[in-house]
């Protein structure tokens, strides 16, 4: 059993980020795109905490604290926007929301 090092944690964080990016690119449902965004933010958090732990510096964890706060605010505003959009258009599929397309 090997002790996990910084690069292991960074690999996990990179995998989570890639999966989130894949969700944003591939999926067509606005809500699931939003969940994938949350996943990407969390992968950044994992990388920051791992860096903070292996550097012996708490600043990374303070950064994660602020990221969590901002992400919570962002989720609230984004979901309110989705609800307002749904009231107008009755859909959450991005393909039906192409009115700004040239």
Q: How far is the CB of 43 from other proteins (least distance, A)?
A: 8
- Size of site (CB under 8 A) for other proteins: 71
In angstroms, the Cα distances linking 93 to 11, 59, 63, 90, 100 are 32, 40, 34, 9, 15
| For other proteins, the closer CB: 38 or 97 | 38
Whole-number Å distance between alpha carbons of 46 and 69: 15
Give the number of other Cβ atoms within 10 Å of residue 13's Cβ.
20
Binding residues among 1-40 for other proteins as defined by CB under 8 A: 4-12, 14-16, 18-23, 25-29, 31-32, 34-36, 38-39
Binding residues among 36-65 for other proteins as defined by CB under 8 A: 36, 38-39, 42, 45-46, 49-59, 61-62, 64-65
């Amino acid at each position: 059993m090997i002790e996990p090092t910084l690069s292991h944690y960074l690999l996990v964080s990179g995998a989570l980020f890639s999966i989130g990016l894949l969700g944003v690119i591939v999926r067509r449902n606005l809500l699931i795109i939003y969940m994938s965004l949350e996943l990407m933010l969390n992968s950044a958090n994992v990388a920051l905490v791992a860096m903070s732990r292996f550097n012996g510096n708490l600043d990374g964890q303070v950064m994660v604290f602020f990221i969590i706060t901002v992400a919570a605010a962002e989720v609230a505003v984004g979901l309110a926007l989705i609800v307002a959009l749904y009231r107008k258009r009755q859909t959450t599929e991005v393909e039906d929301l192409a009115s700004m397309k040239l």
